[in-house]
Amino acid sequence: MLRFAALALAFATPVAITVATPAHAADVKTIRCLEDGLDSNARALLDRDLQKNLENAGKAQSYSPELIAAIQKAAQACRAKYGWSDKATESAIFYTVPRLGWSMAARYARTKGLNPDAFVSRVKALSDDELANGTSEEVLTKLATASVEAGEINADTAALGGALYGLLTMQAKAYIDFAGS
């Protein structure tokens, strides 16, 4: 699975700005602001870094300083435009990274013999409570166990499968967290 703590430290922490924020939930219609704020160079960096991380699934993960800066800049602009809280800003980042990176991750998974559509279907079948806790060890273990039992992953592809589930569940959980922030 992707290292969520590393991702949080890399992208979200420096975005925190001590300003008064509204006491209402973030409008989910604005969650794609961050995506819209990333140019083609930032998207290429994301694909490059994410592929490197998928190639090293289960090991230390990292993102380039240029990508981190681009995401932080876009996140700060969205925060200013829509009055997002710290939690909404962090959730938008956790939503956007897997959303933009999924097509590359799916292509990479196929080169390793995995069917990314099966992973998507399994995550979509989770209950609302499971999605809200999607990055928990319990939920990720449930998903991985089902994939092993279905013959979708094996010892050679388990780390990559976990990373794919990590991306999908992180995006789903981030959407829920954004809506509730």
Residue 131 lies in a domain: yes
Residue 17 region by backbone torsions, left for phi larger than 0, else alpha for psi between -120 and 50, else beta: beta
What integer is the mean pLDDT of 52-81? 95
In a domain, 96, yes or no: yes
The residue range of the domain holding 133 is 4-16+27-179
Total number of domains in the chain: 1
In this structure, is residue 21 part of a structural domain? no
Tell whether 87 is covered by a domain: yes
User: Considering the domain boundaries, does residue 22 fall inside one?
Assistant: no
Least confident window among 20-34, 90-104, 122-136, 156-170: 20-34
In a domain, 70, yes or no: yes
Confirm whether 79 is domain-assigned: yes
- Give pLDDT tens digits for 58-71: 999 999 999 999 99
User: What's the rounded Cα separation, in Å, for the pair 136 and 95?
Assistant: 16
Is pTM, for the whole model, over 0.95?
no
Q: Is residue 109 part of a domain?
A: yes
Cβ–Cβ under 8 Å, residues 96 and 34:
yes
